[in-house]
């Protein structure tokens, strides 16, 4: 406690985690856990019947699951052998050499398009999209089922131009199931706070209104791109 | 669509005063009690019924096609005082426990018994022989009893003759009452100038006139006849909480005949069912009988006020095929349309059930219609293990609250809430409760406990042994647990058998209203209470499952596997209610808990339930007299009361804290998602368990749209296929989310869908929670 605030000096923390089991109020937790591929597989298989019966499956998401690409490849491969569908939710901002070996074990790739404008993309995410687009170009040649998700923020990435570029970018992709349009929400702020402590006044992002979302959806549909949800 | 008059009736119902009373019953009943004093019991009973039915107001409400209502008034202070004085006369402090037992061997609570006159008594909780009622009619019943009287078979047994005479008078009173409705409607028809209205009233009159003695010619007759029988039983004699049993089976021939003849469309059939459901709701009182502390419950003057009636749809037929038919769909659709508390729809799932029907059922559930599911694949073997014969088992159903029933072949509910945590506490502490170490086992199961709800609140003493005696292994501890379980249940059996013996003596020649419509009672001229029906059972509601499981698993880990503490240390800490043992308690609280799909804990679900069921098997082997015992897993709402006398437990729970609820994990301890929760629960050997609820709570966002429906239908189906027994769900509303915000510890498992992902509601920040609350429409 420092000046009435709970404080935590991570420089002094050796991450043994011994503080967690003795905390009576569950105030401390270690996020994430070490797990062996075989243990994760066993854990997932406990729900196998639910996956099969619902024609659902397992989605690897994150963070970025491909930061442990080999791990994902092994577990997904074993799930595949059991007839369980596997989806991969990735930012795709990795070298193709990392991605390629995993793809044979993936039935459905979930991709984000955050902005079709290089500068906006850089401003909002901290990286240029060149590598992502290059990877998407390679993926298009592979006949792999893909669902593209577009988080939309009013005035940032919902302009006519952005949408037109996205449509052009996605048109003619046979194995694209469609796009899912996600109106911006700030439910993630809580998560950010829990990582970084109290964060300053957040820029006031807004979601496009319902009509704008509908118009955008219409434009995709008019160009033969299915809209899965918005 | 809900017909307009039904909508109006529902609107009125929600605004009903909590003082509304069917006051005529009180006055007429007391008049008759005096008038017929001195008559043999069964005859007097029937005359009381006849007097009420001959004089109570008959009512035909606007628009309705199915009639039968009672006149409700707000009693004046004077009227209320009179009614209260009767309650005091029957059940006041001057009436000793022994006298109460003589009058009524078993009742649910003082609140339930207080408005019921001991000479005109019933507690319902059973199923009539509905199929015979609709297919043969009341005239058939009256004729049968006349024939029995004339046959001379019972001439040398005056009490049996009185029983039959009583039954005869009672059937005739039923018919005369329905005929009064026919007459009333005919008169009203003559008074009206409106042609449509005249038609409606004339049809009502024709239907009532026919069913006063005749059998049902079609669906409308059947529902009208059933409703009249229910109205009479429930509102005059307090015989409610019915199991309507398999309505989609016994009404199917009538429904099919109507459809074939073109006299009824499916839409019209649906509307009739909606009316019938609404009738069941209309007579209820907008309160909660389980909240005996509610002012409105205390002041209530009714014999039957908010006890739901159950009905059963789908399920396997005796020939192994599915019972799902068009009527099954309509019965579920009507519940979905109305979404009322009453009636309560039990859908019996079986392997290979029609998938469209299953979706219809799950859709009703996600809309919070009062629909629950049970699993034939576990229920049928369980009922067979506990004595139900093959020829009867497929007819099984339920009445409130979630108690199994073999329709028409048994009388009302008797139960013991077997607190599964007690044997564990006794096993840990030398057969003595921590809270009362000198207690003698002779004090267990007092007369009051037995004649009332049978709630096992405690404290209890078990089989005494030296607690310091070494316990070398977990197996040895489990053996102690089993020994204490058997000790308690066997003791209960012995005292209850003595009670039933006394009850038999007292009830010779007596009759209860339900005897009129059960199988076996009339034929043998014997009330079910003393053997008139084929089956007699006591439902043993195993309570505190997860608390017992977590506590035993904690001992296994802490004492035997990790050897972190000895049994003696644990005993000391529990005796001290963990005061001064913070470290131990924190350690115990963080051990794995039931509900997270972890084998090391979940294996105890089987150990606990097998211990329970084996003890019940043993009771049945030793039993003397009429009753068999059947295990269920349920606490209803009494998990708080049943924790009060318990010491702290090895799962880290503090002394006096609630035990776990029904089949759920301990509150807040399932944190691994819905499939993990369900996987844990399937570890209970449900093929030995005959009933009880699993409450699931979902946020509407997780079950939205066709995709949400498909997922939920699949989830529940897999649960049942893996050996789950029952599920009922609550898709949470706004109010509950606000409650979760205030008491997050009780809602740790509440999962919500946030656009593309799912999160635990209580782990979200206030702002995000507020946004979700705003998005929740219900």
pLDDT band (50, 70, 90) for residue B750: confident
- Span A73-117, pLDDT tens digits: 999 999 999 999 999 999 999 999 999 999 999 999 999 999 999
Structure ipTM over 0.90, yes or no: no
B119 Cβ under 8 Å from any chain A Cβ? no
Contacts of A183 in chain B (CB under 8 A): 755
Lowest mean pLDDT among A23-37, B103-117, B577-591: A23-37
Q: Which residue of A has its CA nearest to B675?
A: A47
Lowest mean pLDDT among A105-119, A197-211, B411-425, B458-472: A197-211
Distances, alpha carbon B249 to alpha carbons A213, B15, B318, B324, in Å: 50, 36, 12, 9
Residue in B590, B592, B669 to test binding to A, most A beta-carbons within 10 Å: B590
Residue A26: per-residue pLDDT: 75
B562 Cβ under 8 Å from any chain A Cβ? no
| Collapsed DSSP state (helix, strand, coil) of residue B26 | helix
Quick one: tokens of B486? 């058997």
pLDDT band (50, 70, 90) for residue B452: confident
Cβ of A190 within 8 Å of Cβ of B676? The answer is: no
pLDDT band (50, 70, 90) for residue A15: low
Report residue B444: phi and psi, to 5°: -65, 155
Q: How many CB pairs under 8 A join A and B?
A: 61
Q: Which residue of A has its CA nearest to B677?
A: A47
Between A5 and B299, residue with greater pLDDT: B299
Residue B465 predicted with pLDDT over 80? yes
C-alpha B63/C-alpha B67 separation (Å) is 10
Residue B663: per-residue pLDDT: 96
Q: What is the dihedral of CA B128, B134, B138, B141, to 10 degrees?
A: -60
B33 Cβ under 8 Å from any chain A Cβ? no
Q: Is the dihedral of CA B566, B572, B576, B582 positive or negative?
A: negative
- Span A126-147, pLDDT tens digits: 999 999 999 999 999 999 999 9
- Span B652-675, pLDDT tens digits: 999 999 999 999 999 889 889 899
Cβ of B764 within 8 Å of Cβ of A50? The answer is: no
| Collapsed DSSP state (helix, strand, coil) of residue A229 | strand
> Which residues, including other chains, have CB under 8 Å from residue B601's CB and lie 6 or more apart?
B549, B550, B553, B591, B592, B593, B594, B680
Residue B748: per-residue pLDDT: 74
B590 Cβ under 8 Å from any chain A Cβ? yes
Residue B40 predicted with pLDDT over 90? yes
Q: Which residue of B has its CA nearest to A57?
A: B711
Q: How far is A59 from chain B (nearest CA, A)?
A: 11
* In chain B, % of residues over pLDDT 90: 81
Residue A202: per-residue pLDDT: 57
Residue B753 predicted with pLDDT over 70? no
Interval B690-697 mean pLDDT: 92
| Cis preceding-peptide flag for B712 (omega within 30 of 0) | no
Between B351 and B771, residue with greater pLDDT: B351
C-alpha B592/C-alpha B601 separation (Å) is 7
Q: Which residue among B715, B755, B771 sits closest to A54, beta carbon to beta carbon?
A: B715
Q: How far is B711 from chain A (nearest CA, A)?
A: 6
Residue B18: per-residue pLDDT: 83
Q: Which residue among B597, B717, B755 sits closest to A185, beta carbon to beta carbon?
A: B755
- Span B126-162, pLDDT tens digits: 999 999 999 999 999 999 999 999 999 999 999 999 9
DSSP letter for B410, please. Answer: B
Q: Which residue among B586, B676, B765 sits closest to A193, beta carbon to beta carbon?
A: B765
Neighbouring CB atoms inside 10 A of A3's CB total: 5
Quick one: tokens of B618? 């043993």
Provide the CB-side half-sphere exposure for B217 (13 A, CA): 12
Residue A192 predicted with pLDDT over 90? no
Residue B351: per-residue pLDDT: 96
Q: Which residue among B718, B757, B764 sits closest to A190, beta carbon to beta carbon?
A: B764
CA proximity to B601, closest of B652, B641, B561, B554: B554
Quick one: tokens of B631? 């295990």
CB B395 within 8 A of CB B245: yes
Contacts of A23 in chain B (CB under 8 A): 586
Q: How far is B640 from chain A (nearest CA, A)?
A: 23
Cβ of A46 within 8 Å of Cβ of B765? The answer is: no
C-alpha B80/C-alpha B101 separation (Å) is 27
Residue B677: per-residue pLDDT: 95
* In chain B, % of residues over pLDDT 70: 97
Residue B756: per-residue pLDDT: 46
Cβ of A53 within 8 Å of Cβ of B721? The answer is: yes
Report residue A225: phi and psi, to 5°: -115, 120
CB A166 within 8 A of CB A138: no
Q: Which residue among B582, B679, B714 sits closest to A24, beta carbon to beta carbon?
A: B582
Q: Mean pLDDT for chain A?
A: 88
Interval B217-230 mean pLDDT: 98
pLDDT band (50, 70, 90) for residue B699: confident
Residue B778: per-residue pLDDT: 41
Number of helices followed by number of strands (H, E) in chain B: 32, 13
Quick one: tokens of B485? 């379980």
> Which residues, including other chains, have CB under 8 Å from residue A65's CB and lie 6 or more apart?
A72, A88, A89, A90
Interval B579-608 mean pLDDT: 97
Q: Which residue of A has its CA nearest to B589?
A: A24
> Which residues, including other chains, have CB under 8 Å from residue A44's CB and lie 6 or more apart?
A58, A75, A79, A84
Interval B363-388 mean pLDDT: 95
Q: Tokens 């439902």, residue? A: B539
Quick one: tokens of B442? 């002779």
B152 Cβ under 8 Å from any chain A Cβ? no
Contacts of A61 in chain B (CB under 8 A): 757
Distances, alpha carbon B653 to alpha carbons B436, B548, B566, B661, B667, in Å: 19, 11, 18, 14, 11
Contacts of A190 in chain B (CB under 8 A): 764-765, 767-768
Lowest mean pLDDT among A122-136, B273-287, B491-505: B273-287
pLDDT band (50, 70, 90) for residue A10: confident
C-alpha B660/C-alpha B595 separation (Å) is 12
Lowest mean pLDDT among A152-161, A183-192, B657-666: A183-192
B722 Cβ under 8 Å from any chain A Cβ? yes
Residue in A40, A48, A49, A181 to test binding to B, most B beta-carbons within 10 Å: A49
Cβ of A185 within 8 Å of Cβ of B582? The answer is: no
CB B137 within 8 A of CB B228: no
- Span B224-252, pLDDT tens digits: 999 999 999 999 999 999 999 999 999 99
CB B22 within 8 A of CB B304: no
Lowest mean pLDDT among A18-32, A126-140, B695-709: A18-32
Interval B68-87 mean pLDDT: 96
C-alpha B607/C-alpha B684 separation (Å) is 9
Residue B764: per-residue pLDDT: 75
| Collapsed DSSP state (helix, strand, coil) of residue B720 | helix
pLDDT band (50, 70, 90) for residue B755: very low
B475 Cβ under 8 Å from any chain A Cβ? no
CB B649 within 8 A of CB B426: no
> Which residues, including other chains, have CB under 8 Å from residue B415's CB and lie 6 or more apart?
B403, B453, B454, B538, B539, B540, B541
Residue in B755, B761, B767, B771 to test binding to A, most A beta-carbons within 10 Å: B755
Q: Mean pLDDT for chain B?
A: 93
Interval B511-525 mean pLDDT: 98
B85 Cβ under 8 Å from any chain A Cβ? no
B768 Cβ under 8 Å from any chain A Cβ? yes
Contacts of A24 in chain B (CB under 8 A): 582, 585-586, 589
């Amino acid at each position: 406690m420092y000046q009435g605030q709970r404080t935590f000096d991570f420089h002094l923390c050796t991450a043994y985690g011994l503080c967690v089991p003795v905390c009576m109020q569950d105030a401390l937790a270690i996020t994430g856990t070490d797990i062996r591929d075989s243990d994760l597989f066993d854990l997932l298989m406990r729900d196998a019947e639910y996956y099969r019966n619902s024609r659902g499956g397992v989605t690897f998401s994150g963070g970025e699951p491909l930061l442990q690409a080999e791990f994902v490849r092994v577990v997904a491969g074993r799930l595949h052998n059991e007839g369980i569908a596997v989806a991969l939710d990735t930012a795709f901002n990795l070298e193709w050499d990392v991605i390629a070996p995993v793809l044979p074990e993936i039935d459905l790739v979930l991709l984000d398009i955050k902005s079709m404008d290089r500068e906006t993309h850089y401003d909002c995410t901290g990286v240029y999209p060149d590598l992502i687009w290059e990877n998407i170009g390679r993926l298009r040649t592979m006949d792999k089922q893909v669902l593209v998700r577009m988080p939309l923020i009013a005035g940032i990435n919902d302009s006519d131009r952005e949408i037109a570029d996205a449509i052009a970018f996605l048109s003619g992709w046979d194995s694209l199931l469609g796009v899912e349009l996600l109106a911006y929400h700030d439910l993630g702020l809580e998560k950010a706070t829990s990582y970084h402590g109290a964060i300053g006044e957040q820029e006031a992002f807004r979601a496009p209104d319902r009509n704008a979302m509908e118009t955008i959806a219409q434009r995709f549909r008019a160009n033969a791109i299915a809209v899965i949800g918005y | 669509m809900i017909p307009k008059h039904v909508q109006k009736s529902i609107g009125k119902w929600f605004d009903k005063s909590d003082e509304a009373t069917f006051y005529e019953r009180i006055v007429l009943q007391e008049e008759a009690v005096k008038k017929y004093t001195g008559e043999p019991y069964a005859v007097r009973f029937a005359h009381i019924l006849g007097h009420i039915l001959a004089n109570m107001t008959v009512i035909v409400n606007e628009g309705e096609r199915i009639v039968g209502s009672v006149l409700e008034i707000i009693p004046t202070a004077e009227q209320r005082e009179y009614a209260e004085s009767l309650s005091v006369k029957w059940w006041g402090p001057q009436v000793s426990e022994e006298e109460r037992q003589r009058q009524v061997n078993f009742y649910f609570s003082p609140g339930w018994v207080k408005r019921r006159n001991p000479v005109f008594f019933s507690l319902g909780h059973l199923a009539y022989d509905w199929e015979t009622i609709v297919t043969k009619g009341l005239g058939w019943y009256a004729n049968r009893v006349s024939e029995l009287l004339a046959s001379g078979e019972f001439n040398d047994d005056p009490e049996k003759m009185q029983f039959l005479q009583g039954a005869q008078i009672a059937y005739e009173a039923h018919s005369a009452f329905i005929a009064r409705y026919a007459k009333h409607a005919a008169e009203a028809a003559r008074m009206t100038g409106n042609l449509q209205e005249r038609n409606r009233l004339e049809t009502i009159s024709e239907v009532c006139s026919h069913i006063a003695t005749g059998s049902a010619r079609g669906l409308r007759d059947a529902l009208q006849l059933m409703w009249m029988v229910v109205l009479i039983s429930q509102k005059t004699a307090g015989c409610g909480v019915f199991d309507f049993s398999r309505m989609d089976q016994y009404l199917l021939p009538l429904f099919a005949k109507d459809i074939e003849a073109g006299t009824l469309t499916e839409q019209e059939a649906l509307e009739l069912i909606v009316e019938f459901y609404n009738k069941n709701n209309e007579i209820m009182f907008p309160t909660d009988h389980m909240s005996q502390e509610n002012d409105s419950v205390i002041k209530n003057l009714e014999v039957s006020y908010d006890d739901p009636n159950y009905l059963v749809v789908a399920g396997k037929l005796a020939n192994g095929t599915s019972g799902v038919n068009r009527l099954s769909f309509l019965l579920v659709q009507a519940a979905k349309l109305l979404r009322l508390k009453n009636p309560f729809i039990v859908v019996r799932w079986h392997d290979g059930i029609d998938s469209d029907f299953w979706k219809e059922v799950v859709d009703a559930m996600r809309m919070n219609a009062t629909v629950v599911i049970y699993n034939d694949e576990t229920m049928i073997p369980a009922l067979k293990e506990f004595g139900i014969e093959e020829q009867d088992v497929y007819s099984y159903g339920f009445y409130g609250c979630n108690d199994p029933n073999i329709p028409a072949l048994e009388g009302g509910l008797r139960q013991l809430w077997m607190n599964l945590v007690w044997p564990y506490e006794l096993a840990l502490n030398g057969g003595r409760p921590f809270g009362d170490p000198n207690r003698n086992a002779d004090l267990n199961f007092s007369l009051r406990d037995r004649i009332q709800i049978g709630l096992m609140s405690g404290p209890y003493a078990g089989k005494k042994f030296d607690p310091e005696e070494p316990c070398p292994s977990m197996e040895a501890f489990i053996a102690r647990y089993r020994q204490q379980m058997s000790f308690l249940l066997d003791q209960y059996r012995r005292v209850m058998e003595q009670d039933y013996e006394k009850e038999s003596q007292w009830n010779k020649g007596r009759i209860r209203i339900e005897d009129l419509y059960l199988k076996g009672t009339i034929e043998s001229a014997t009330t079910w209470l003393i053997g008139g029906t084929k089956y007699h059972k006591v439902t043993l509601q195993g309570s505190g499952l997860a608390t017992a499981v977590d506590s035993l698993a904690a001992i296994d880990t802490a004492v035997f596997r990790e050897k972190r503490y000895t049994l003696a240390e644990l005993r000391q800490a529990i005796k001290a209610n963990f005061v001064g043992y913070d470290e131990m308690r924190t350690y115990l609280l963080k051990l794995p808990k039931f509900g997270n799909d972890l084998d090391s804990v979940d294996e105890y679900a089987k150990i606990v339930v097998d211990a329970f069921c084996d003890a019940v098997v043993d009771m049945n082997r030793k039993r003397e007299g009429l009753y068999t015992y059947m295990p269920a897993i349920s606490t209803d709402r009494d998990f708080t009361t049943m924790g009060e006398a318990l010491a702290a437990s090895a799962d880290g729970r503090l002394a006096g804290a609630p035990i776990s609820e029904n089949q759920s994990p301990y509150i807040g301890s399932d944190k691994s998602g819905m499939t993990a929760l369900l996987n844990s629960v399937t570890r209970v050997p449900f093929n030995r368990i005959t009933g009880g609820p699993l409450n699931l709570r979902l946020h509407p966002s997780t079950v939205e749209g066709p995709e949400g429906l498909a997922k939920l239908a699949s989830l529940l189906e897999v649960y049942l296929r893996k050996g789950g027994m029952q599920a009922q769900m609550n898709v949470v509303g706004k109010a509950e989310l606000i409650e979760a915000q205030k008491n997050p510890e009780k809602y740790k498992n509440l999962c919500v869908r946030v656009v593309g992902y799912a999160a635990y509601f209580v782990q979200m920040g206030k702002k995000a929670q507020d946004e979700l609350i705003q998005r929740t429409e219900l």
